[in-house]
Structure 1
C-alpha cells in the first residue's frame, strides 16, 4: 500500500470511528487530521474510536494529529479510545502525551 487510507463511520453503538489502514506518512497525515476534525466538529458522538489495527507505521506528524485530536475530544467531553496500535506506535503516542488509559490493545 502506497499510503494510508482513512475512513470514518458511525458504529452501531453511536461511536464515531476513524479507521486507518496502511502507513501514515507525512502526506497521509493531512487526511487523518481532516477525518479527526470531521469526527469531532461535524458528528456529535459521545465516543471517538481511532482504529489503528490495520495501520502499519505512523510518522511523528501522524502521532501528533492523533494526540491533538484526542485533546480536542477531551475538551468536548468526548471519550476517546485508540484501538490496537502497534507497540511502537503506542509508545510514540504515550511519549507524545496520550494517556495510557486511552489505548486499547485488544
Structure 2
C-alpha cells in the first residue's frame, strides 16, 4: 500500500487548495476524503482546488474519494476543480467516464500537462 501527504492552503483569491502527493489507494483515501469533507464543511470555500501534480498512482478508491468530494462540494455550493492530473490519473478518470464531470479535457495531450 502507498503513502500520501495532503496539505491545505488558501490562495489570495480565497480558493482552498488541497495539494496531494503520493498514491491514492486503500491505505490513503480515508485521509483524502476526510481532508476534503472537513474543509468543505468547516470553511465552505467558493472554490476548492485539488492539485494532483504529484499523485503517482490512483486506484478506484482514489477515484471514489474525488467523486465524494465533488458531490459534497456541489451540495455546499463550492466549485470543485482538479488541477494538473498526471497522465496516469487523467487516464483513470477517462476510463471511468469521469474526466468530463471534473471538467478535464477528453485527452491529456496538452504540452503543459504531459511530458513523455
Q: Distance in 2 between matches of 1:96 and 1:61?
A: 15
**Superposed CA offset, 1:23-59 (max 9, x none):** 1221111110110111211112100100000111012
In structure 2, the gaps of 5 or more residues are 106-111
What RMSD, in angstroms, separates the aligned Cα atoms of the two structures? 2.0
Secondary structure of the residue aligned to 1:26 is: coil
Q: Distance in 1 between matches of 2:15 and 2:84?
A: 16
Tell me the CA shift for residue 75 of structure 1.
Answer: 2.0
Higher Rg = 2
Equivalent runs, 1:26-105 vs 2, <5 Å: 26-94=26-94, 95=96, 97=98, 99-100=100-101, 102-103=103-104
Q: Distance in 2 between matches of 1:101 and 1:64?
A: 13
TM-score by length of structure 2 reads: 0.78
Tell me the CA shift for residue 96 of structure 1.
Answer: 5.3
In structure 1, the gaps of 5 or more residues are none
Q: Does residue 1:16 correspond to 2:16, yes or no?
A: yes
Structure ranking higher in helix proportion: 1
Tell me the CA shift for residue 21 of structure 1.
Answer: 0.6
**Superposed CA offset, 1:43-89 (max 9, x none):** 12100100000111012111110011111111222111100112231
Secondary structure of the residue aligned to 2:74 is: helix
